[in-house]
Amino acid sequence: MCLSPLINSVCRWHQRQLISKWCGILLQLLLLCKAPRPF
């Protein structure tokens, strides 16, 4: 299961820090989790 609400809260909390860069990667991972894996 994907922890979308948790990641969203972390993204908002660290929105001004460099962690925002990780938020983009995490969001892409969430999209991969929701969408069928191409592998």
Domains of the chain, residue spans: 4-34
pLDDT of residue 2: 58
Q: Kindly report, residue by residue over 1-25, the tens digit of the pLDDT.
A: 456 776 667 666 555 565 667 777 7
pLDDT of residue 7: 66
User: What's the rounded Cα separation, in Å, for the pair 30 and 16?
Assistant: 21
pLDDT score recorded for residue 3: 64
DSSP state of 17: S
